[in-house]
Structure formats: C-alpha cells, structure tokens
Chains A and B, each alone.
Chain A
Amino acid sequence: MHEIVRREEMASGDVILNEIEAPLIAKKAKPGQFVILKADERGERIPLTMADADPERGTITVIYKVVGKSTELFKSLEEGDSYQDAVGPLGQPTHLEKVGTVACVGGGTGVAVLYPITRGLKGAGNRIISIIGARTADRIILEEEMRAVSDELFVCTDDGSRGHHGFVTEILKRVLEVETLNLAVAVGPVLMMKLVSDMTRPYDVKTIVSLNPIMIDGTGMCGGCRVLVDGENKFACVDGPEFDGHKVDFDQLMQRLDAYQSEERESSKAHRCRLDE
C-alpha cells in the first residue's frame, strides 16, 4: 500500500497532485522516468511520469489530469488514502548534460513532467528558456517552480487570460529566430509535441519529447506502447518514454491513444452510475 501524504488540486480541480509514499522508487527515480499506479483491486494500471521524487522523505510526486474512469478514481483518493500498487521507476531517465541553451516547452499537465527535466538540465549548467502554456490562466501549473529553474520563462494561454494570447509554438518561433538553441524539450499533448518538433526541424535543433502511450506492464512485455520511431518500432516503456521528436510518427501515436475511446466512455458511465447509487 502506498499512502498519499500530500494532495493538492490544481487547475480548478482538473489536475491533481499526489505525493505518495514509495521509498524504494524514490531512492531510484531520476528525471524523465515514470511509475505505474493502480488504485485498488479492480483498477487499471496507469503509467504516470513522475514530477518529483524525494529519497529522504521516501516519496514520489505525480501530477495528473482527470480524463477518465481511472483518473476520476485516483482523484477520489484523499490524503491518508492509499494506492494499492505502485511500481517503478520505469523507463530511461533523461540524458542530462550541458549542451548550451535549451528550450523547455510544456503544455497543460505536461509541465509536471517537464519540471524535473528542466531542473536537471539547469543543474547540468544549461541556459534554460522555458515556455509553458494552458487553455486558461487557472490551468497553468507549476509556474513558480518553472521560473525558479529557468533563465527566462514565457507563459501562454489559449484565451489570453495570462501571458501571451496564443500557443507555445508562437513563442518558440520567436525564440528560434533570435536564439541559437542546442536542444529543445517538449512535453504536453501529442499535437503540441508534434508541432514543436515540426518547428524545430528546419532549425536543426534536436528535440526531445516524452510520450505516454497505452501500456499494461511497463516492462517490455505487452508491446502495447509500441511507437514508430525513425521507421522502427520502439517500446515507450523500456526504450522511452523520451524519444527524438523529429523521428516519432505522431499521427500513428494519436490514433493508438484513441484505441479505447468507446470503452473509456462506457467505463466512466458505469463508474458514475455506481457513485450515484
């Protein structure tokens, strides 16, 4: 059992932070790695890239968006409640080295995953230009944390309620025009990662994206998380979750992420019916 020692609601309750007791995982976790959580006996195994890990407190932190049955169930867990299962750290850690100037681009809940990577890249001695965005001002998460590990920080909202009125890619375009970037990191909705990768390609700026496809075991056993990278199948759980954005087949990834759309609806509906009873 893995107790939730801290729980916060962000983005008007759409996004939840859980700090969870998991000493063995916390001891090993590195930026870029993920865990799989399962709430109870009947629950799904949900992969979540960690936002933080504290080996001294023996805790890991995940920040997730409530999108379906399983994340609704996660959301219903209070401080003091426990996840039945937590396993990790899984996947390859981010390769953290000094390369020069790095653009860190995050959209929505992706900022939660971007933050430890940004912190690590800053710690490695890089100059960091961060661009974070969300639909509205209240959906911007970890702004202060990101500011603390960035040399420059730009905030964007789709509706203009905070910072730049528009998409992160618009700011990135400006940055690419005036700066010589040595690396870009993009974490967020698949479409955003695709657009960022398309934008950096002509500038020949290597771009790392962090993927979160559908998977079961997280150890290379099911092959559900296979992603076409440079024409070759990779397993996001063991070869990733980070890949070269210029080589990922994002269109296929989007289709594969929608594989269980109708089941998702059925499951959420059944869940709400049970809650109403």
Chain B
Amino acid sequence: MAKTEDVTEKKTRIGMPEQEPDERRRNFEEVPLGYSPEMAMKEASRCLQCKSPTCIEGCPVEIDIPAFVKLIKEEKFDEAIKKIWEKNRLPAVCGRVCPQETQCEGRCVLGKKGRPIAIGNLERFAADFARQEGIEDGSLQAKPSGKRVAIVGSGPAGLTVAADLIAKGHQVTIFEALHKPGGVLVYGIPEFRLPKDIVADEVRNLEKQGAEIRCNTVVGRTVTIDELFKEGYDAIFVGVGAGLPRFMNIPGENLVGILSANEYLTRANLMKAYQFPEYDTPIPKGKNVVVIGAGNVAMDSARTAMRLGAETVRIVYRRSRDEMPARAAEIHHAEEEGIEFFLLTNPTRFIGDEEGRVVGMECIRMELGEPDGSGRRSPVPIEGSEFEISCDLVIIAIGTGANPLLTRSTEGLKLNRWGYIEADPETGKTSIEGVWAGGDIVTGSATVIEAMGAGRRAARSIHEYLTKSA
C-alpha cells in the first residue's frame, strides 16, 4: 500500500492509502482504499472548528462540515453521517467524486499555510462506515402530503430532488431511460473511481424511503411530460443530463475504432464490457490508444483503456497543462498509471486501413495565443508542424451537448441557443408551470455536486409550490 502523503506530524494531512500504480493500472478495483477509523480521527483532529467556517460556503449543498468533522474526531461516526445526511443524500458518492480542492477544501483556512483538512476523505469515511455498519437514515420519514412528483432522470440531480421531496412527505417516481438507475454515476464514472455497488446502495436507500423507480422509460418517447401531468403528477423535475456526444468533425472520424467517450465508458461501466465475454457487450481493446480531450471524462477513458491492457495510452489536448479541465488528482493518477500527455497538439484527420479501421491520426502542434471567451489562452496551430501518431483506438472526450430527445417533444419548454433548458438559477423553474429542471441539461456539462445543488434548490421550490397550491 502506498500513501500519498506523510503521516509523521499532527499538522500533516493524512493521506488516503491507495493501490500502487503498477498494480491498479491493470485492474478495475477502486484506487483510494479509504481511511481507517484511527486515520479519520487523526485527520479530523486537525480541524480548527472556525467560528465562521468558510468551508460551508464552498459546498454547493451546504453540509455542516465542522460539525461532522468534530463528530468524527470524537469517534461518533454514526452521528457524523447523520449530520451529513441532513444536507447530502449521496455522501459516499460525493466523498469520492466532488472537486473538493475548488470547493470546501479550497476555502479551508488551514490551506493558507499548509494543506487543507481532507473533507472529502472524511465524508467518504463516514459514508462507508454507515454502509458497513448498516446505519440507516430515519430522518426522511414524513407525513404524506398526498402530492406526487415525477422526476425525469436518475442521476445526481434527480436523486437529490427525490430524497429532499420524500423528506417533505411527497410521493416521488423517478423515470430512467436506461435499464439501471444512477445516470452518469453508473454509465459514466468508472468502477475504479466510484464502485457501482455504492451507487446501487444509495438508490436502494431511496427506494426504502418510498421512491418508486421506473427504468427503461424514455420520457419524450415512452411517455411525454404532458402525459405525466395527465397521469396525475403535481410537479415534474427534469434532470436528464447533457448526454449528446460532441465529435471533432474532421476527416476520417467514422472509421472503426473511433468512439465517443460516452460510448466507450457506457460499454465499460453500464454494460460491464471490461468483463467481456462473461458479460455480453464487447469493448474495443486498443494496443495504442489516443484519448482526445483533457477533462475528467478523458482521464476516465484513458485509465479505462490502460486497465483493458493497452500498451500506450496518450491524452491529446490542444491547450497546455494549465488549461486542462480535469481535477489535479485525476491527472496525477493518470500520470502515475503511465498515461502520456501530448499537450498543445490538435488532431487534423484520422487515417484508416482498407477495412475502414483507424490506424493513425495526423496532428498539428499548437501554441497559445490571446485569451478567448472562456478566459483561457486560445491555441493557434503552428504551420508546417504536422506529425502522425499511430493508434488503433481513439476516444473522443471533448465534451457533450444538450440531448434534444426530451426537449424536442415538450411543447412550450424554453431552451437557450445551445439547446439547454432555460431555468431560473435560484429555483429551477422552467417556462412551463409545474416543470422544474436542473443539472447538466440546464448548465451544460458540470459536476455531480453542482447538479445536486441544483436539485436541492429545485426541491425547495417544488415543495413551496406544492404546499402553496394545497
């Protein structure tokens, strides 16, 4: 076992043990192994218990961080998890995938001189403790309101809305298009970063509290928003995510062996193709893999390819290291596992063999010019710098757009010019009375916790609406 940081001093942040890079790069087991109770208590004891804590401001769902950290320090783990549950229904997920460095931990006072307290690790510890000990949250039980809410999409936004509304006594039904609930937590984020058992447990907890989940139901096809109202739902929340893959639109992109990250990861994660042929869905196993893009999804794709036995995995990104959108920890993990980075490099075309399979990619070197609309310095091609990378699998991870399936079938639903739903950022209200929206289908690709924050605000507004109209 390796430790990411030293454990020598009290003032030193306790690193979470991890699988060694050489070992983990060929398996799908989770990479960080979790704190022991001693480690958690020791880390928790570093918290200064600030009078006006800034960490809470950094949390999109406003967890009372100092309170739960203090409870861990005092070895009251069951109380710690209950404290978290007051604000966050998916702590085992958030403890693993939240970008704490830019949120709670980014605001921690300890971070000014040394390393901030490891809030994410502690959240994960408390949540895992609850799972292992079978601690359940009774706080959701509430007097039935007689109101019914339909939630479209079972990703982080939808699950949060469901939990919050159940806690207010409303009856919720979650509609999911795929055959398993969880949305991006299930099809997008790999097992080695977020074990699927954890997601299944969180969903099962919601079901125990009374949520009904209907999989294989494509709202917009199997049933429409109008029909849901006719079926007697009093309010509808739309959290369908931004699942439309973007492509490069360069020559050769339809060659066999070029996949969107959505397809690649869905095969691996949802369909468990990494266990092919025990599971029936195949996944292309490249020897020399190229991943285009440098966000978290690109890192997930690259690390998946490595685990499937690739000899080389290369991230190709048109900007420089500073602009890479992935979390620092993910980039670090990828590098440790032997993934190479071709920065300031942009693909210009794909090269295929006579059977239409990809065998290479032509790229051009870039240099950074003036800042663009996003504030990042925009890359400019260097003339005459073209070169070829040979590869037999290419994964395109350059972001997603708005999936129009539901929005096109819903008359009167106002969209912005990119096709995302226009919703009030404070309440999630859309242009249709009784319909709320939140998560990536409103903001475009963002994070799990931001979608949960949007779900939280929408649930508050839906509850207000339901109780007012009562």
Contact = CB atoms under 8 A, between A and B. Distances in A.
Given A87-B179, A223-B260, A259-B256, A42 B244 contact: no
B281 interface: yes
Contact of B217 (A87, A252, A260): A87
Interface in A48-95: 69-70, 73, 84-90
A30 B132 CA distance: 48
Given A222-B266, A233-B254, A267-B282, A45 B247 contact: no
A45 B279 CA distance: 11
Contacts of B280: 42-44, 69-70, 73, 267
B256 A216 contact: no
A87 B266 contact: no
B195 interface: no
A221 B276 contact: no
A258 B405 contact: no
Contacts of A264: 282
Interface string A239-277: 000000000000010011011100110110011000000
B262 interface: yes
Contact of A222 (B221, B223, B257, B262): B262
Contact of B403 (A85, A220, A270): A220
Contacts of A44: 271, 280-281
A256 B247 contact: no
A188 to B, nearest CB: 22
B176 to A, nearest CB: 10
The SS class assigned to the A binding surface is: mixed
Given A223-B245, A223-B263, A266 B277 contact: yes
B263 A216 contact: yes
A255 B256 contact: yes
A259 B355 CA distance: 10
B144 to A, nearest CB: 26
B200 interface: no
A28 interface: yes
B390 interface: no
A87 B247 contact: no
A228 to B, nearest CB: 6
Contact of B279 (A28, A42, A216): A42
A255 B222 contact: no
Given A233-B247, A266-B277, A270-B277, A226 B218 contact: no
The SS class assigned to the B binding surface is: loop
Contacts, number: 119
A45 B216 contact: no
Nearest to B400: A221
Contact of A259 (B178, B284, B403): B284
Contacts of A24: 217, 222-223
B247 A28 contact: no
A42 B245 CA distance: 25
Contacts of B259: 223-224
Contacts of A267: 276-277, 280, 282
A217 interface: yes
A86 B216 contact: yes
A85 B270 CA distance: 14
B413 interface: no
Contacts of A223: 245, 247, 259-260, 262-263
A127 interface: no
B289 to A, nearest CB: 16
B222 A222 contact: no
B334 interface: no
B243 A220 contact: yes
B404 interface: yes
Interface of B: 177-179, 215-218, 221-223, 243-245, 247, 253-254, 256-257, 259-260, 262-263, 266-267, 270-272, 276-282, 284, 355-357, 403-405
16 contacts: A44-B281, A69-B280, A70-B280, A88-B222, A89-B221, A216-B281, A219-B218, A219-B221, A219-B405, A220-B403, A220-B404, A223-B259, A252-B254, A260-B284, A263-B282, A264-B282
